[in-house]
Amino acid sequence: MAGWGNFRNCFGTVFYPETAQDVQKIVREPGACIAFGNGRSYGDSALGERIVYTRSLPPVFNFDAETGVLRCGAGVLFADILAKVIPLRWMLPVLPGTRYITVGGAIAANVHGKNQRTPNLLSHYLLDFQLVTETGDVQRCSRTQHPAVFWNTIGGMGRTGIITEARLQLVPLPSEWLEQRTELAADLAEVLTTLANNSTAEFAVAWLHPTRRTGRVFFAQFTTDASPTRPRTTRPLNIPFFAPNALLNRHTMRWYHHWYAWKNRPGVRRVPLEQYFFPLDGLLNWNRLYGRRGFVQYQACFPRAQALAGGAVLLDTLDKHGLMPFLVVLKQHHAPEPELVHGFVQDGFSLAIDLKPPRNWPQIIQDLDAVTAQFGGKIYAVKDASSSPGVIGLRHERLLGTKFASMQTGRYKR
Ligand SMILES: Cc1cc2nc3c(=O)[nH]c(=O)nc-3n(C[C@H](O)[C@H](O)[C@H](O)COP(=O)(O)OP(=O)(O)OC[C@H]3O[C@@H](n4cnc5c(N)ncnc54)[C@H](O)[C@@H]3O)c2cc1C
């Protein structure tokens, strides 16, 4: 088994529970275990010696089209939920960059989307969930029932137990089309001010040219005209095997970045929902393009006042090590709910940087973590493959117990 980055892998025993009772039995057996959703976390947070594959759990799909409340199994994919609720004019309130994640994995990470005017963390829309705890008991957790377990599980990376089902509040879907406005930004500072100064767009995300450091900011809102046509669904292409390690290198990527900047010229255009929210889902298994040695994503969120300096020094640190990022994506975040225990999101900006780790990666990651700490940043735990515990947005001291442990947990103990 491997994380999405294929940078970490393991030979664990995999269990395929078909009911919550099966999960209870697995948990009660000796030894630690960890839930595995759809493996879209980049690092080793879902890997371990005993892996509980949650997609085999029953889907229990129950949607109330009057209230927008969805009850479903933890192994159900966002893609399957969207396929069912979009025709009913509802959608998930928070959409990360891929729809191939499970509900359980989304809660364990407390995923964020591109929302600017509405709360951007899944926790805000989570009503309750059912959890198999370390004693093997089933607990329903919400803001009022076992609230401490509820808040510790959200963003807790599977370390409090295995979620078997959940209830989420969905939101009405105005249209399947978005009006996307692309703006140019001369540099990192302008990317951040462009994001911060726009208070009207519903959604926003930015891309930075990794070498030129010029940017594109993509704002979007749902179209309001009663557009009758549904976007055409296109079959995603599949990358069937790992590409040679050398395929993505600084030369091929330089061409790609120039092409991407040229393709995304400033202006307004209408795009299907899927294209705006899930641009990478058009290519299944795109992670194989990085080759067998894999890649990492370093995603840090800095407080507003420190984001420019923190982001610039992070990129300079990579330059200093002669490393060219393959992708740099930025988002603006607002202050999260105060009850949240874990998480990397704070009022500020996040940078996500895709990289092919070279041989001296341990030294580089130490330097990157030092910059993140210096500028008050935190790392997103699902992207972590090698960071030091101090900078991860996960409060280990609040996750007592040893029943649920991953390779990530093991790394922190060393
Ligand atoms: C292309 C791409 C784009 C992405 N964009 C975003 C983004 O914009 N925003 C964002 O927030 N994230 C983003 N992500 C990260 C992704 O949303 C998270 O990693 C998510 O947790 C993956 O869900 P999964 O079902 O694959 O979980 P896995 O990767 O299998 O597991 C992730 C964590 O959740 C735990 N877990 C899984 N299921 C359960 C369960 N039933 N009970 C308890 N714990 C469980 C695992 O133990 C592990 O710690 C992106 C990932 C990719 C590949």
Query: Which tokens in the block code for residue 32?
Result: 């630690």
pLDDT band at 414 (very low <50, low <70, confident <90, very high): low
pLDDT of residue 225: 75
pLDDT at 359 over 70: yes
Distances (CA, A) of 83 to 69, 162, 186, 285, 299: 16, 25, 39, 20, 29
Task: Using the mean position of ligand 1's atoms as its centre, give its distance from the Cα of residue 298 in Å.
Answer: 15
pLDDT of residue 226: 65
- 271, with CB counted inside 10 A (0-12, 13-18, 19+), is middle
Q: Does the C-beta of 133 come closer than 6 Å to ligand 1?
A: no
Edge to edge, the sheet with strand 13-15 lists 13-15, 50-53, 34-36
Q: Does the C-beta of 4 come closer than 6 Å to ligand 1?
A: yes
The CATH code of domain 177-396 reads: 3.40.462
Q: Does the C-beta of 155 come closer than 6 Å to ligand 1?
A: no
For the CA of 111, the closest atom of ligand 1 is 11
pLDDT of residue 263: 93
Of 219, 224, 265, 263, give the one whose Cα is nearest residue 114.
Answer: 219
Distances (CA, A) of 97 to 42, 153, 158, 259, 316: 13, 22, 21, 21, 26
Ligand 1 test: best mutation among 53, 101, 239, most atoms within 8 Å of CB? 101
pLDDT of residue 312: 98
Task: Using the mean position of ligand 1's atoms as its centre, give its distance from the Cα of residue 292 in Å.
Answer: 21
Of 220, 221, 231, give the one whose Cα is nearest residue 182.
Answer: 220
Ligand 1 test: best mutation among 57, 102, 165, most atoms within 8 Å of CB? 102
Predicted TM-score (pTM) of the model is 0.98
How far is the C-alpha of 104 from the C-alpha of 112, rounded, in Å? Answer: 14
For the CA of 34, the closest atom of ligand 1 is 47
pLDDT of residue 245: 87
User: 397 φ, ψ to 5°?
Assistant: -65, -20
pLDDT tens digits, one per residue of 97-126: 999 999 999 999 999 999 999 999 999 999
pLDDT tens digits, one per residue of 291-329: 999 999 999 999 999 999 999 999 999 999 999 999 999
pLDDT at 280 over 70: yes
Q: Interhelix angle for 307-320 vs 361-374, to 10°?
A: 160
Q: Is 176 helix (H, G, I), strand (E, B) or coil?
A: coil
pLDDT band at 411 (very low <50, low <70, confident <90, very high): confident
Q: Side chain identity at 397, as an amino acid letter?
A: E
Q: Does the C-beta of 40 come closer than 6 Å to ligand 1?
A: yes
Q: Side chain identity at 296, as an amino acid letter?
A: V
pLDDT of residue 228: 61
pLDDT tens digits, one per residue of 198-229: 978 999 999 999 999 999 999 999 998 766 68
pLDDT tens digits, one per residue of 52-89: 999 999 999 999 999 999 999 999 999 999 999 999 99
CA atoms within 13 Å, Cβ hemisphere of 220: 25
Task: Using the mean position of ligand 1's atoms as its centre, give its distance from the Cα of residue 182 in Å.
Answer: 28
The residue whose CA is least distant from atom 9 of ligand 1 is 96
The residue whose CA is least distant from atom 5 of ligand 1 is 97
Task: Using the mean position of ligand 1's atoms as its centre, give its distance from the Cα of residue 79 in Å.
Answer: 13
pLDDT of residue 231: 86
pLDDT at 246 over 90: no
pLDDT of residue 185: 98
The whole-number average pLDDT for the span 248-265 is: 92
Angle at 87 between CA 81 and CA 90, to 5 degrees: 65
DSSP assignments along 25-70, one per residue: HHHHSSS-BEEESSS-SSSSTT-SSEEEEGGGS----EEETTTTEE
Task: Quote the percentage of the chain above a pLDDT of 70.
Answer: 99
Q: Does the C-beta of 280 come closer than 6 Å to ligand 1?
A: yes
The whole-number average pLDDT for the span 365-375 is: 98
Task: Using the mean position of ligand 1's atoms as its centre, give its distance from the Cα of residue 156 in Å.
Answer: 11
Under 8 Å between Cβ of 168 and 288: no
Of 24, 88, 100, 99, give the one whose Cα is nearest residue 57.
Answer: 24
Under 8 Å between Cβ of 344 and 381: yes
**Residues ≥6 apart with Cβ < 8 Å to 33:** 15, 26, 27, 48, 49, 50, 51, 52, 162, 403, 404, 405
For the CA of 162, the closest atom of ligand 1 is 42
The whole-number average pLDDT for the span 151-167 is: 98
In the chain, where are the structural domains located? 177-396
The residue whose CA is least distant from atom 7 of ligand 1 is 96
Average pLDDT, the chain: 95
Task: Using the mean position of ligand 1's atoms as its centre, give its distance from the Cα of residue 101 in Å.
Answer: 6
